[in-house]
A and B are shown apart, each in its own frame.
Chain A
Amino acid sequence: MDFALVIQTALNGLANGALYAVIAAGFVLVYRATSVVNFAIAEFMLIGAYLTYTMSLFFPLLLAILLALPLAFLFGVLVERGFVRPLLGRNVVAVIMATIGLASTLDGTALILWGPDQKAMGAADVAQLPKEVPNLAFSLGGVFLSSKAVWSLLLALPLALLLVGGLKYSRYGVLLRAVSESETAALAMGINAPRVVAIAWGISAVMATVGGAFLAGAAGGGGPGHHLVLLGLIVFPVAILGGFDSVPGAVVAGLLIGLIEAFSQLYLESLLPGITQAIPFLIVLLVLLFRPYGLLGQHRIERV
């Protein structure tokens, strides 16, 4: 076995997995806060990637990503205010249908605003501005890592961990967990539950934007296009493997699925072409059969 190749595959897997982790963590955050399964999460990524692209027409790419984040946050808050809040308290199916409808609406909107062709990040003629993020690709002892992978590891992974830590230790994290348990009890203590929930949607959109922009190739090569929506489907297996209501679970599961994909690509793809794309969903089947609470799903407190 080629040791350097294994390391390289692992690092690449983790790099992709970090993006899955970021997106899924935001997705689970929303589920925790509102019990809403956001079927439009892939479109959140799409919109985020296009926002980044648009910003990259005017600013250097790294700055463009940063500038896209507040816009994404606003977008998440608006979706919550306009689409989700009016439906809260309705039956689950109504809310599910609504987020599916939202997904198509956003798909269409993106198509109208940005057109059907694939974009290239930082493509505009902004003279003198560095269009690319600094190239961090490196090669060491036979291990080669693309710039994109290094950036993912450098930005996405800390962001995912920040969310995990924030949820556990920050004041907002405590409030979010309180609201997720009982909105009524939170309101009785004067906690501004609607705001806590809106912020969760904003954060989720921010995470999806980072993931989306990077998956679309913000850190080298490519740009947003509609294939991103298909990539976004990976969120569901990741969230389910993580336990669906656990943000740390989503992060661990994201990294794990990234690793599994990378190694499957390396060792299995030649034997069973197409297996790599199927593997996350096979894992979901196994999880649902044998471990419905996933890796870190909440175990219920049973005493009354």
Chain B
Amino acid sequence: MAEINVENLKVVYRGVILALQGVSLRAGAGEAIALLGPNGAGKSTLVRALSGLLPQYDGRVLDGKIVVNGQEANHLPALKVAELGLTAILEGRPIFRYLTVLENLRAAAHKLTPQRQKEITDEIFTRFPRLYERRFEQGGYLSGGEQQMLLLGMALLTEPRILVVDEPSLGLSPKLTEEVMRVLNELRRDKGLTLVLVEQNARAAFAIVERVYVMEQGRVVFEGTAQEAQADADVMEFYLGGAVAGGFAEAKRYRRRKRWV
């Protein structure tokens, strides 16, 4: 049974802006999928819809179906979705900037017993020694990479079954991006997580997911395994701007060109 099943989902903002125009996708239990697409394609909208956070953005599900972990979740409020075991790391590294690293972790661990909280926190600090060194620092003063690690730690403390991550590599160096992907992959395997990874950095995402969806203007325009995506000339050209050269900037330039013509 699929952990996440989205069928023909339509989402509007402020009652008029149709951001998703009938999106269908699924992720099986323990599966990792990537969601690619240019700016404005609707990736983050899908993340918000999955996690029940659309009302926070004055958006709502107009039509279609979301099933999370066997439960229909179209209009479930965020707290109910969280109870189903879905945790989303939203776009823009939303740590609590005025809370220290430890306090951020504590806030995320609100449901755990002190015992369990300590176990997981220890595990996080073992995985990310850098966070331990900076545990009394306010989140706002961490580097982008550290903030992303902190968010992963916070997500772990919610003990999720399904992890949705929106553009974790944004603004990170290639080396750090690789590091974030490695950690995501490890976590996913260690915990048996279902992973939905929204990325602009297709190459990094391909390395750790089984299947790939490409979105454009509120629709899914490509769906296939990571291998198929890599073999698909369109997808590859689109994302890597040609055979190998690639890189984030070039792909972006290419995409912008394609958007305007």
Contact = CB atoms under 8 A, between A and B. Distances in A.
Contact of B98 (A187, A190, A298): A298
A188 interface: yes
10 contacts: A174-B106, A184-B90, A187-B56, A188-B82, A188-B88, A188-B89, A189-B87, A189-B107, A303-B140, A303-B141
Closest 4 CB pairs of A and B: A190-B82, A301-B140, A185-B94, A178-B107
A175 B138 contact: no
Contacts of B111: 190
A191 B155 CA distance: 12
Given A188-B87, A189-B82, 17 more contacts: A171-B110, A175-B107, A178-B99, A178-B103, A178-B104, A184-B90, A185-B90, A185-B94, A186-B107, A187-B53, A187-B79, A188-B94, A189-B155, A189-B158, A190-B110, A298-B98, A301-B138
Contacts of B89: 188
A190 B140 CA distance: 21
Contacts of A186: 107
Interface string B97-130: 1110001101110110000000000000000000
A190 B53 contact: no
A186 B140 CA distance: 16
Interface residues on B, range: 20 to 34
A222 B108 CA distance: 48
Interface in A169-187: 171, 174-175, 177-178, 181-187
Contacts of B83: 190
Nearest to B57: A184
Interface in B125-183: 138, 140-141, 154-155, 158
A188 B78 contact: yes
Nearest to B90: A188
Interface string A248-262: 000000000000000
B53 A177 contact: no
A189 B154 contact: yes
Interface in A248-304: 298, 301, 303
Contacts of B87: 188-190
A192 interface: yes
A189 B107 CA distance: 8
B99 A177 contact: yes
Interface of B: 51-53, 56, 78-79, 82-83, 87-90, 94-99, 103-104, 106-108, 110-111, 138, 140-141, 154-155, 158
A184 B96 CA distance: 11
A188 B154 CA distance: 11
A301 B103 CA distance: 16
B250 to A, nearest CB: 25
Given A174-B107, A175-B107, A189-B107, A182 B94 contact: yes
A273 to B, nearest CB: 45
A97 to B, nearest CB: 22
Nearest to B79: A192
Contacts of A298: 98
A125 to B, nearest CB: 49
A186 B83 CA distance: 14
A195 to B, nearest CB: 9
Contact of B99 (A174, A184, A188): A174
B56 A181 contact: no
Contacts of A184: 53, 56, 90, 94
Contact of B53 (A181, A188, A301, A303): A188
A303 B95 CA distance: 14
Interface centre among A174, A192, A303 (most CB of B within 10 A): A174
Contacts of A177: 96, 98-99, 103, 107
Contacts of B56: 183-184, 187
